[in-house]
Amino acid sequence: MEAKIAQGDLKNAEEFLIASYWTFLKYQKGDDAKKDEAQAVKTTPEDLTDIEYQILNSNLRKTFCKMFTAQNELPRATDEIKETIFMDSQIYGPENIITSESYYLLGNIFNLTQDFVSADSNYGIYIGIWYKALKKFFHKLNYEGNQVEPLDSLLVKQAFYLLQEIQRIPSCIHSRVLRPQDGPSHGHPALLLQ
């Protein structure tokens, strides 16, 4: 779905996303009648834990946000990403690297509506979360060596890609700090990434 959104194939992306969401809503944890029916046709996954259910719901909403943003339906995109931030904050915490992407997406929405202060604030939250995560990781690596749990490489690659995207936004104060030609900004999270 996200590939279709990135390619601009919004009609097909919307159809796939609606079908996915319908399937997700059709499966309700604890509904024995639906479970019996699903077991007969073997189309429903094993019982989902509450956390798994919330994670799936959050991921779907995040994808809806991306689609609505691409369709320039910014109020709907904002509603979806605010719900995602709330759910991810409950699951992972408000300053978790998984939650951070939602702040970036909210920053993009604010940037499109030319609310540059709010956009910059959300980009700053994104940068701050990654700064803390990487600082903590490298600190542990220096003191604990091989005992450190590695960061998810896909999340790290995504983070560096999104940080480069923030760098390209001329209206963003944080983008100026991230640009090496402007020199370092003492005490700013971007220092770690230079």
The per-residue pLDDT for range 83-101, each reduced to its tens digit, is: 999 999 999 999 999 999 9
Q: How would you class 182 by CB atoms within 10 Å of its CB: exposed for 0-12, middle for 13-18, buried for 19 or more?
A: exposed
pLDDT digits (tens, 9 = 90+) for 10-34: 676 777 667 777 777 676 554 554 5
pLDDT given for residue 142 in this prediction: 79
| Domain ranges for the chain | 1-71, 92-194
- Percentage of residues in the chain having pLDDT higher than 90: 37
- Cα separation, 88 vs 95, in Å, equals 10
Task: Write b or e for each residue in 67-88: b if 16 or more Cβ atoms lie within 10 A of its Cβ, otherwise e.
Answer: bbbbeeebeebbebbebbbebb
Region 155-182: mean pLDDT is 74
Distances, alpha carbon 90 to alpha carbons 12, 50, 58, 104, 136, in Å? 31, 12, 11, 18, 22
Instruction: With beta carbons less than 8 A apart as the criterion, state whether 91 and 152 touch.
Output: no
CA angle 111, 81, 129 (to 5 degrees): 75
- Cα separation, 188 vs 64, in Å, equals 32
pTM of the complete model: 0.74
Two structure tokens written together for 177: 């700090």
pLDDT given for residue 4 in this prediction: 59
Instruction: With beta carbons less than 8 A apart as the criterion, state whether 77 and 109 touch.
Output: yes
Q: How would you class 170 by CB atoms within 10 Å of its CB: exposed for 0-12, middle for 13-18, buried for 19 or more?
A: exposed
- Cα separation, 125 vs 122, in Å, equals 5
pLDDT digits (tens, 9 = 90+) for 41-54: 444 456 778 888 88
The three-state secondary structure class of 85 is helix
Nearest to 80 by CA among 93, 88, 2: 88
pLDDT higher for 142 or 94? 94
pLDDT given for residue 29 in this prediction: 52
Torsion of CA 109, 114, 117, 122, to 10 degrees: 10
pLDDT given for residue 118 in this prediction: 93
- Percentage of residues in the chain having pLDDT higher than 70: 68
* pLDDT(149) > 50: yes
Mean pLDDT over the full length of the chain: 78
Two structure tokens written together for 171: 């209206």
